[in-house]
A and B are shown apart, each in its own frame.
Chain A
Amino acid sequence: MKKIFSRPESLRDISTHYCSGCGHGIAHRLVAEVIDELKIRERVIAVAPVGCAVVAYDYWNFDCSEAAHGRALAVATAIKRVRPKNIVFTYQGDGDLAAIGANETIHAANRGENLSVIFINNAIYGMTGGQMAPTTLVGQKTATTQRGRAAQEHGHPLKISEMLGPLPGVKYVERVSLHSPQEVLKAKKAIKQAFQNQIGNIGFSLVEILSPCPTYWGLTPKKSLDWIRDVMVKEFPLGRIK
């Protein structure tokens, strides 16, 4: 019998700690598949965030560094500068990349660092128990906005991908989603583009991935996917930003 589907070499054969319906498992796998397909596993140095994906290095099968909360792009900048032949990427959530690490994000992008950034936007802080993220939607209930995010008090969702687009150092930004098999395939294509850009020395590339968090959205896994499709993409439109 011919084997037509298997675990990528870049993904270890162990179960993850993620909640049922969480998007991280899919995103981890997409990254691993792309790295296998591009045959760069032995060249990759990943930088993991602080957040639910902190132990991504337990699941991936290549070199990886942890970074302090928000500092992944500072860590990645230095790794890439001293080892330009390695393929360096960060994998960060919305709190890590768009709140505490917004400064590092903006400046790494503005310097045009030749890095690939995988940005998981699930509109909430997962690891700490479902607090408001910079990307939380107006009206969305979280542990720290129990009556819903109020724009007047908390501001509007921060669209950091759109903010980065105009910077000359930024070469590629695309927002994708994990809410359907079709969108997952598009997400993989975008991730691949971000890595190909780095291999081709094109420059700073970021893929924002809308990803479900059923646990802290208070929805079933299926309804979480529907919520992305029906609600979240209205605030965060999918497609190429730059």
Chain B
Amino acid sequence: MKVLISGNEAIAEGAIQAGCSFYAGYPITPQNEIPAYMSVHMPQAGGVFIQAESELAAINMVYGASATGVRSMTSSSSPGVSLKQEGISYIAGAELPAVIVNIMRGGPGLGNIAPSQSDYFQATHGGGHGDYRLIVLAPATVQEAYDFMSLGFSLAEKYRNPAMILGDGMLAQMMEPINIKKSRIKNQKYARPWALTGCRGRKPNIVKSFYMQEGDLEKFNLHLQEKYKTIEAQEQRHEGLFLDDAEIVLVSYGSMSRIAKGAVQRLREKGKKVGLLRPVSLWPFPKKAFGQIRVHPGGRLKFLVIEMSYGQMLNDVKLALNCKYPVEFLGRAGGGIPTEDEIIKRTLSLLSR
């Protein structure tokens, strides 16, 4: 079924069709359409909607619902997601599946409500305490915003790990026609013998992240590290465009990559050998895709990272390339968005050097 829908509504509807049965959230712009949509449609789908008293309560409600084995999520925007970090760490520590949506806005502090990509560090390199990892997916279209909810829940359950959908105010507020499937997932794919359901006919289950006996916490951390290695090996996702003969590869994710893609197409029309590599999973970072890009015989190769931040993904690109090729950066934040013209100008200047 084709519908015209905003990014926020697509996320909410995508979650419901993915079988999400629990939503808790707290108002914050620019993601308010998600809880508003959920408040109507989640009860209709037989699930639970709660407007929590705070971001802390919301993420801990998700922890509780997830502990019973149901698909659970929350959504928020940058300052609210900062408040959720403790809870996210506990969810990772208790190995519970859950999906957290961050519709990024300008920061630091209260910042503003303009689109931004300034929470990349927080999402991919920690945020909360402890050696945990968050699976992070970055949709670039409203269709992907819808589709990635299902993917996010599936990965979260497969690995018993929280997953984040990282979008921004631009993606959340714009409307696009998308295909939706009115076929709500009823049976979750992965068994959940760990879930709290009452101990009838089995030994009691305990959901916890506390390991006081000497050596136990280190052992648990090693188990997490093994899991993260598997995720890094199996779950890298990216989109590539004109990478075979590119002399300059633009690297950009989320809605920013749409603008970069527009610049690539215009530059190709001018005969310029420009490509695009869009990380779709921000963690695991698609290192393999970077490793596969080769400089073509007699040619040269440069990278230009473009973000709505002051260079948060930049270091991951440099590491993925092992500093083999020059990496340049173009970024704006706080409401500034690099334009197609700015990208073209910068790319042409790099090509002429």
Contacts and interface: CB of A to CB of B under 8 A. Distances in A.
Contacts of B22: 78, 81-82
Interface string A34-57: 000000011111010000001101
Contacts of B68: 45, 78-79, 82-83
B54 A65 contact: no
B8 interface: no
A81 to B, nearest CB: 5
Contacts of B90: 68
Chain B interface extent, by class: 35 or more
Given A68-B87, A78-B50, A82-B21, A63 B198 contact: yes
Contacts of A54: 210
B64 interface: yes
Interface string B86-125: 1100100010000000000000000000000000000000
B206 A82 contact: no
B204 A62 contact: yes
A42 B50 contact: no
Nearest to A107: B53
Given A62-B198, A68-B87, 4 more contacts: A64-B204, A65-B196, A71-B87, A78-B63
B205 interface: yes
Nearest to A77: B61
Contact of A57 (B53, B198, B201, B208): B208
Interface of A: 41-45, 47, 54-55, 57, 60-68, 71, 74-79, 81-83, 86, 103-104, 106-107
9 contacts: A42-B199, A64-B205, A65-B67, A71-B57, A74-B60, A75-B67, A79-B196, A86-B197, A104-B56
A75 B196 contact: no
Contacts of A61: 199, 204
Nearest to A61: B204
B186 interface: no
Given A45-B196, A86-B198, A78 B72 contact: yes
A67 B63 CA distance: 8
B206 A71 contact: no
A74 B199 contact: no
